Structure 1
Amino acid sequence: MNKFVMAACIGMMATPGAFAQVTEEDLLNDQTITTQVVTNGMGRDWQRYSPLDQINRETVKNLFPAWSFSFGGERQRGQQSQPLIYDGVMYVTGSYSRVFALDAKTGRKIWQYDARLPEGILPCCDVINRGAAIYGDNIYFGTLDARIVALDRKTGAVVWNKRIADYREGYSYTAAPLIVNGLVITGNSGGEFGIVGAIEARDAENGELVWRRPVIEGHMGELNGEESTMTGTLNASWPGDMWKTGGGAPWLGGTYDAQTDTLIFGTGNPAPWNSHLREGDNLYAASRIGLDPATGEIKWYFQTTPWEGWDYDGVNEVIPFTDANGNGRLATADRNGFFYVLNREDGSFVDAMPFVKDITWASGIDENGRPIYNPENRPGNPADAADGQKGEVVWAVPGFLGGKNWQHMSYSQRTGYFYVPSNEWGMDIWNEPITYRQGAAYLGAGFTIKPLFEDHIGALKAIDPNTMEIKFEVPNGAPLWGSTMATAGGLVFYGTPEGYIQAINDETGEILWQFQTGSGVTGQPVTWEDEDGVQWLSVVSGWGGAVPLWGGEVAQEVSYLNQGGSVWTFRIPDQLLASAN
């Protein structure tokens, strides 16, 4: 890894607008203020839904690329970010911890910031960054060496730079920060290195730590510079000292439900993967956790995979919604292959269903929300092997990359469906002996991931959370690795590794429009309207992420895909807008 020199204010020119401050009210109402996108998820509830309908089933065929901007350099690895748009400026992050400010109508670069990354960073799953946050006069984003940085959004100059954790121990940070009531809230990454997952809140003005909540039982929290409360109860669900290196990284970021004033984060796999070394539920790994945003105290939890042994992280986004009967609900599509509906008030279990095919590790979910395990499908204990080196190999579905991985689903207020970018694959997996060593991989397992079907791996699925039915699915040859967006125009937008950004009919799944971007689309599409009432669509393009690095036979099948690094922006031509009016 080469060192990269920080370059703020590169190509800086006068920018549009008067740089009004982004307020808590702006963040709270982001989904309904159609001239901006100031939160990851197009609203802190992560519904990824837009009320705009100028681009609709009839007009989508007229979309054309208004501009494209290349991130440049040789750092064209996975690009999974979501652009933010405010006051005529687009802020977008790129691989290797870079931030770009662009004119939202032309793509002209205003400034660029490149983080100075040290030698020896240890990102598990590519050098991606999933986006920034915006508040006041600042842009906030995380870096691969586990830091959180505040930049002046006018110039790109550093306002403050704080360490989340020590990258030399295996920590990193790739998610978009979440901002609530003037606090910048982050998780951490690094579960494959025996780190301890934690959620932290900092003062947005100066970066000073306000509270810290470890998510593995036995660790002490912090509030206002002092020790607060223990997470859980020491050794209640972890044997011996295993909790000290228990993993559980909340690496995807979190949701804020303003209705209940609750932060909701998912937590990753327990460490190591070899579950025979840590028999027990292993709280609060592979879980969803509701927290008080003011103090970081845990209000409730729901564990999707107790005693997890397949790398089924529980980090997947949790989306608040109201069901057909007016009940407050939470929905999440877990890496373990099951789609869950929870009570919005306390996270308690309501219902679950499989959303991918041929699940082997569990036969279903019981009335309490716990999996009904197939004991023979747990990877074997190496201690039972004749040589003590390799436990029994099992064929497990889904593969460890999950029925759904990081890529976000969306919820349409028009149809009431969730649109889930899923994948159909399995794996041969086995356990091996392992001991913890700081900064070294802490797996204790081997694996080979394989597709289930010859004609497709990816499948975009529309799920009705009221009936717990899959209404339709759209298969895709390569794995789906980017997020979806639903709109009031009757459309769902998402990208494919084959390079397309495409729109489907939100009721039937029919593909109505697609555009080839030149590299795999694993980013997060957004839409907004300008001051003239023109609706725009943007998405980041650039193939990469975990699939090429960890995908086994799947990685070989998609090795032909080209890397890239760019953001594409589309609109309908003026003359067609005029004729439509």
Structure 2
Amino acid sequence: MSIEEDRAVQAAQDTVVRETDNGYRVLGAPEKSVTHQHDIDRIPREDVTQEMLSNSGENAECWLMYGGNYEQHRYTTADVITPENVDDLELEHEMRVGSGSSMEGTPLVIPGDPPVMYQSNGPNHVKAIDPRAGDVLWSYTYAVPSDVVLCCDDNNRGVAVWKDKIFMCTLDSGVVALDRYTGEEVWYTSTADHERGYSATWAPIVHDGTLYTGSAGGEYGVRGFHTALDAETGEQLWFTHTCPEEEWVGESINQAAGTNWMTATLDEERNRLYLPIGNPGPDFDGSVRPGPNRNTCGTLCLDAETGERLWFHQESPHDVWDYDSACPRVFIRDLEIAHRNQTKDVVVDAGKTGWAYTVDAETGELIERSEPGVQQLNMFRMIPHIDEGRRGTFMPGGMGGNDWQPPAYSPETRLIYYKMHNNAQEAWWRFEEFEEGKKYWGGILEDETEAMPDEYNGHIASIVAIDPATGERVWRDWIDSDTYLWGGSMATATGLVFAGTQNGDLIAYDGETGERVWEFDCGDAPLSASPMSWYDPGTEKQYIAIQVGGSGWLRRGKRDDRLLIFSMAA
């Protein structure tokens, strides 16, 4: 059956997102969720075990979670593709997924004969695919309520898998569990009231039957949280607000934001979660929230069993620049820090400030702050009030630095690879009355600046390698374009780093030197997604997959609906 006859695809195509004064609104979604089965008998009936998930980072034949492993390394041990032969990498499948909305996701691949890929994109659409043949096995579209409002597009960045289920966060701040063999709904749980402005766009994680998911909606005056659900039933096990009441003044805690809107990182030995935490609320008016606004713009550590807050590292106290620290944290065990004569387990993050921060995984204490990956001009200068007639250009702007784009870590090179924005924005603050479900920015953020700082180098983005032990910026590739850089990177056991650009180029770098060793022109649409890879023993090939299409907060870049699968024979 062709994709044109797929009812779930048609439901996704009928679902549109319109920009309004209050953000983006979803219209035309189906009244009930739709599953369309094509060839489900082709899916091997082998459940994904906890042992498989725990070992996923070492198994070249799979990609079982958003970051490749619980540590969010985005690294494959598949070693067919090397710097010497990468020129032989070929495009094997160019699939149309049929729903050209936000394309920011990372597919999962479950090993088997054949392997099965689970690929998702906006608006809450997911497919099971046979990546050997390039065939769709089933499709599903979630029925998004028409009163959902979103700050930043109808994104869906991936799914999680455990046993016989896959799990997808939904735009109305929920989680839906699907039978991974049939695409049929098993359960749905709402984690917060979407009418207040809550939403969900990231890939959750599952460990020992517990699913972990966060919160989005910081632009609507919500209060951030992280929560744990029973993966079998959807029952809530614990719920923790990210910001503690005792650290905030008066009623400001109720609109504190501090949302956790990207995927958690798990330390299995300590049974801890490391969470990326966004801006305080309102974004630009700090006068209504005195103090440092702790537990915003930084890394929060939680006990994975109880949800207890253990430590927090803050990157931008009392933030008024929208400096979310959103990307997944990289956990590195036994990092040798020679100049300090230390070996430590560390958590590393690069937020919108453009610095990477290496902190002690046990205590959250800062070990190193890196050299910046982008220019920092007028940074941390107080933004003016809207009535003062002054302009305040600062850099990085509110999109970063590093926004949600997930980095990659290579145990071979011992470097972390980031994709960063190098662009200025202007902002003004003003007093706004809070109204539930309405935008609560406390000001204005302008993408187009009246005048760039004199020192601006003219490059809109960079791809950069950082040494987490020393903070050294080892190499940097400046990217030029009219649009910003989205999506993540991936490292390989052979020393390569793959990353897409907003110019439609998929690039392979030498991870040590930053030399471009291979490029593929994917067309005139941006690559807003993150690459992943696996080895298929049935075909004796290593594969790399990436989605194509523009998306994001500023809706820049041409839409597309392609999934590209590259391959190389061993």
> TM-score over 0.5 for the alignment?
yes
Query: For residues 155 and 210 of structure 1, what CA distance do their matches in structure 2 show?
Result: 27
Alignment of 1:323-402 (within 5 A): 323-325=335-337, 326-360=343-377, 377-381=381-385, 389=387, 392-402=390-400
Q: Deviations over 1:275-305 (max 9, x none)?
A: 1221211122212111111110111111111
Q: Is 2:566 the counterpart of 1:566? A: no
> Residue type matched to 1:468 in 2?
G
Query: For residues 305 and 385 of structure 2, what CA distance do their matches in structure 1 show?
Result: 43
1:41 corresponds to? 67
Alignment of 1:505-516 (within 5 A): 505-516=510-521
Identity %: 29
Q: 1:391: how far off?
A: 7.6
Q: 1:16: how far off?
A: 3.9
TM-score (norm 2): 0.89
> Residue type matched to 1:344 in 2?
A
| Contact 1:42–1:49 (Cα < 8 Å) also in 2 | yes
| Counterpart among 41, 50, 56 of residue 24 in structure 1 | 50
Q: Deviations over 1:85-140 (max 9, x none)?
A: 00310001111001110002112000000011111211111111010000010000
Q: Deviations over 1:33-88 (max 9, x none)?
A: 11111111000110111122210111111111111221214xx2321100000031
> Residue type matched to 2:351 in 1?
D
Q: 1:178: how far off?
A: 1.1
| Contact 1:390–1:431 (Cα < 8 Å) also in 2 | no
Q: Is 2:360 the counterpart of 1:318? A: no
Q: Deviations over 1:329-368 (max 9, x none)?
A: 2111011222111002121111213423442465xxxxxx
Query: For residues 354 and 518 of structure 2, what CA distance do their matches in structure 1 show?
Result: 29
| Counterpart among 469, 476, 480 of residue 477 in structure 1 | 480
> Residue type matched to 1:158 in 2?
E
Q: Deviations over 1:523-570 (max 9, x none)?
A: 11111111234211111111111243xxxxxx5xxxxx4210221111
Aligned-residue Cα RMSD (Å) equals 1.7
| Contact 2:104–2:156 (Cα < 8 Å) also in 1 | yes
2:239 corresponds to? 212
Query: For residues 212 and 277 of structure 1, what CA distance do their matches in structure 2 show?
Result: 26
Query: For residues 378 and 370 of structure 2, what CA distance do their matches in structure 1 show?
Result: 14
Query: For residues 53 and 357 of structure 1, what CA distance do their matches in structure 2 show?
Result: 32
Which runs of no fewer than 5 residues in structure 2 stay unpaired?
1-26, 338-342
TM-score (norm 1): 0.87
Query: For residues 347 and 516 of structure 1, what CA distance do their matches in structure 2 show?
Result: 42
Query: For residues 65 and 357 of structure 1, what CA distance do their matches in structure 2 show?
Result: 33
Query: For residues 180 and 138 of structure 2, what CA distance do their matches in structure 1 show?
Result: 9
2:4 corresponds to? none
Q: Deviations over 1:164-218 (max 9, x none)?
A: 1111111110000011221111001100000111101000000000000011222
2:537 corresponds to? 531
| Contact 2:48–2:163 (Cα < 8 Å) also in 1 | yes
Q: 1:390: how far off?
A: 5.4
1:181 corresponds to? 208
Which runs of no fewer than 5 residues in structure 1 stay unpaired?
219-232, 363-373, 383-388, 549-554, 556-560
1:260 corresponds to? 270
1:82 corresponds to? 106
Alignment of 1:265-344 (within 5 A): 265-273=275-283, 274-321=285-332, 322-325=334-337, 326-344=343-361
Query: For residues 357 and 529 of structure 1, what CA distance do their matches in structure 2 show?
Result: 35
| Counterpart among 245, 253, 265 of residue 255 in structure 2 | 245
| Contact 1:77–1:563 (Cα < 8 Å) also in 2 | yes
| Counterpart among 526, 532, 551 of residue 544 in structure 1 | 551
Query: For residues 361 and 339 of structure 1, what CA distance do their matches in structure 2 show?
Result: 19
Structure 1 SS opposite 2:253: helix
| Contact 1:133–1:178 (Cα < 8 Å) also in 2 | yes
Query: For residues 296 and 466 of structure 2, what CA distance do their matches in structure 1 show?
Result: 26
Q: Is 2:98 the counterpart of 1:62? A: no
Structure 2 SS opposite 1:327: strand
Q: Is 2:123 the counterpart of 1:127? A: no
| Contact 2:373–2:464 (Cα < 8 Å) also in 1 | no
Q: 1:316: how far off?
A: 2.6
Structure 1 SS opposite 2:506: strand
| Counterpart among 74, 88, 97 of residue 71 in structure 1 | 97
| Contact 2:325–2:403 (Cα < 8 Å) also in 1 | no
Query: For residues 442 and 411 of structure 1, what CA distance do their matches in structure 2 show?
Result: 36
1:465 corresponds to? 468
Query: For residues 545 and 293 of structure 1, what CA distance do their matches in structure 2 show?
Result: 30
Structure 2 SS opposite 1:540: strand
Structure 2 SS opposite 1:31: helix
Q: 1:455: how far off?
A: 4.6
| Contact 1:66–1:106 (Cα < 8 Å) also in 2 | no
Count of residues in correspondence between the two structures: 524
Q: Is 2:418 the counterpart of 1:420? A: yes
Query: For residues 290 and 357 of structure 1, what CA distance do their matches in structure 2 show?
Result: 27
Alignment of 1:155-166 (within 5 A): 155-166=182-193
Decide which moves more: 171-180 or 539-548: 539-548
Query: For residues 107 and 232 of structure 2, what CA distance do their matches in structure 1 show?
Result: 22
1:367 corresponds to? none
Query: For residues 94 and 240 of structure 1, what CA distance do their matches in structure 2 show?
Result: 40
| Contact 1:12–1:155 (Cα < 8 Å) also in 2 | no
Query: For residues 206 and 225 of structure 2, what CA distance do their matches in structure 1 show?
Result: 16
